[in-house]
Every structure is written in structure tokens, then in C-alpha cells.
Amino acid sequence: MSRLSRPLGVALVYVWLSVFVVVPWVAILVGAFAGGWASFWHSVSSPEAAFALRMTLEITLVTLFINLALGVPISFWIARRSAPGWRVIQWIVELPLSVSPVVAGLALIVVYGPNALIGALLAHAHIKIAFAFPGMVLATVFVTLPFIVHETVPAIRAIGDTQEQAAYVLGASPWRTLWRVWLPQLKWSLLYGMALTAARSFGEFGAVLVVSGSIVMVTETATLFVYQASVNNQMQAAYAVSAVLALVSFALILVLQLVKRLGGNRLRDH
């Protein structure tokens, strides 16, 4: 019985994966390249599609930068349990994992929208957040902040604080210690968190949709473009941009595996 059930189980997993994961992927690729390379390229390089892809890339890069700058200190606060209210910080950082991105986007509109107080004040100073690039970045940062923190906190705890103290006694300032002692040892955790952040930024839809208003050639990202194109029955365009997103995800998965393998030995040593 058990001799039979094991191959049967494995077979079921394969069938399930094929039907629900592999086939849709292949379908996207087939759809994108059905008209040949030239028509794929034509769809991807149309002004609207190119704009959307570039906007997604820009949001991802800015998000990575902000998350790194915010994520490292937040990780230390949580890992050290030293900052007053570190539990609250941890809870706030983890919130996006359970809150619907659409709700997060809506919350930003409520605060920064042109009819809200802060939004109106900012608009007065000619700073536009809702329905503009800054709001889209904010939404993406909100959704992706947990990733770097999640990867980094356990690594900081595993390394402990005696190496830091050793560095201080040897004359290194806190800043130099971060640079020479902490970052080199947190490098793999940070890279892993960044890869997850990038993957999520590329794919973010709900939060960005609400915040941006999805205005063509102004605030339309790649995922919004795909949605709009499919609603408008421009399937070739939808497939082509989807294929680009799919390939980027695939590349990021490869990066994650590579990071795991390269960093694995080091991480395990701690």
C-alpha cells in the first residue's frame, strides 16, 4: 500500500503543479510569442507598454532603496528588543502581510488624497502624493517592508552583540562597526530580502491601483497595463507585458536560489 501510495502522491503533485502553475505560464508565453518575436517586440515597445514597464522598474528601484534604508534600522530595533515599544514596531511592520493591499492603498488616499487635510496642505506646497509617483512608491513600500525585516532580524539575533562590542573596544565607531562588522555578515539576508521585495514590487497591483488611479502614460504600471489591456480585449499586448513580468519573476527566483546556495553555508554557521 505504502509502496504504491508514494509514487501516486508524487504523481498527483506533478499533475497539480502542471495544471495550476506550469500550464498557465506556458499559455502566457505562447500567447506572447504567437505572432512571432516581431509582434511581441511591437507590443512591448508600444509607448503605453514601455511607459508602464519603466514605471514599474522605477517604483521597484526606489522601493528597494527606501526599504533598505528603513529596513536595516528597524531590524536592529526589533532584534535588540531595545527601542521602547519594539513590539509595536514589529506589529506595524508585519501588518501589511495580513492587510489587503487594496485597503492599504485606500488608507493612503484617505490621508494624502486631495480632499484630505494632509493631502490638501501638501497640494498647496505643490507636492502631489495620491494619483502620482510618490503615492505609488509609498503603497509599494508599505506592502514590501516586511520582507527585508523578516530576513534580517533572525540573522542579527544569531550574530549577537559581542562582535559589535569587540569592535567598539578596538576603536571602531558605531557607524564603522555597521559597515565593517554588521553589513558584511548580513549581506546574504539583505540580498534575499531585496529579491523578495523586488519580486513583490514588480507584481503589486491592488495598492498601486487604488493610489494611482491608473492613468495611462501617467500612473500606469505594468500590472495595471496588463489588466487594462485584457479588459479592453487587447490580448496580444496583455500577453506580451505579462511575459516580461513572468520572465522577471523567473529571474528573481533564480537569484533567490543562488543567494540561498551561496549564503547558505555562511548563514548556517551562525
Partner 1 sequence: MTIEFVGVEKVYPGGARSVRGVSFQVREGEMVGLLGPSGSGKTTILRLIAGLERPTKGEIWIGGKRVTDLPPQKRNVGLVFQNYALFQHMTVYDNVAFGLKEKRVPRDEIDRRVRELLGYMRLTEYANRFPRELSGGQQQRVALARALAPRPQVLLFDEPFAAIDTQIRRELRKFVREVHDELGVTSLFVTHDQEEALEIADRVLVLHEGRVEQLGTPEEVYEQPETLFVASFIGESNVWRRPVQGGAVEVAGLRLPVDPAIPNGTPVAVVVRPKDVQLHPADREEGQGQILRSAFKGAYSACFVRTRDHEVWEVHVPSADRHLLSPGAWVRMDVHKFFVFPA
170 contributes a contact to partner 1 by CB under 8 A? yes
Do 52 and 220 form a contact (C-beta atoms < 8 A)?
yes
Is 171 a binding residue for partner 1 by CB under 8 A? The answer is yes
Q: What number of chain residues touch partner 1 (CB under 8 A)?
A: 20
Shortest gap between Cβ of 162 and partner 1 (angstroms)?
Answer: 4
Name the residue nearer to partner 1 (CB basis): 124 or 269. Answer: 269
- Nearest approach in angstroms of CB 192 to partner 1 is 17
**Which residue in 198, 181, 193 sits closest to 154, CA to CA?**
193
- Under the binding rule (CB under 8 A), the answer on residue 181 touching partner 1 is yes
Q: Is 166 in the site for partner 1 (CB under 8 A)?
A: yes
Nearest 5°: phi and psi at 129? Answer: -110, -60
Q: 120-159 mask for partner 1 (x: CB under 8 A)?
A: ---------------------------------------x
Of the candidates 228, 197, 196, which has an alpha carbon nearest to the alpha carbon of residue 212?
A: 228
3-class SS string, 183-213: HHHHHHHHHHHHHHHHHHHHHCCHHHHHHHC
Please give the full DSSP string across 85-99, using - where no structure is assigned.
Answer: THHHHHHHHHHHHHS
Give the residues lining the site for partner 1 (CB under 8 A). Answer: 159, 162-163, 165-173, 176, 180-181, 184-185, 266, 269-270
